[in-house]
Amino acid sequence: MSYRKRLHDLRVDHDLRQEDVAQILKITSQAYGMYENGKRSLPIEYLIILSQYYDVTSDYILGLSDNKK
């Protein structure tokens, strides 16, 4: 599974909008949308923030593992 799909699925599972995640990352919703749509690569610092926020491993977000912990 691609990390873009994982980003989308985690966001939806937590009943968040792209705007909500963008606020967590302190970026614009357009910038976050580019990460979720694959138009930009997700920076490592945002991967760390989202891993902590969603309480999952970075490997899970990256699609390298199906284990959330």
pLDDT at 33: 97
User: pTM score, two decimals?
Assistant: 0.92
| Geometric angle at alpha carbon 4, from 54 and 15, rounded to 5° | 45
pLDDT at 12: 98
- 42, 7 Cβ separation under 8 angstroms: yes
Ranges in the chain, pLDDT < 70: none
pLDDT at 35: 96
pLDDT at 29: 97
- The CATH classification of domain 3-62, taken from the options 2.10.77.10, 1.10.260.40, 1.20.1070.10, 1.20.200.10: 1.10.260.40
pLDDT at 39: 95
Residues near 45 by beta carbon (within 8 Å), at least 6 away in sequence: none
Give me the residue spans of the domains in the chain. Answer: 3-62
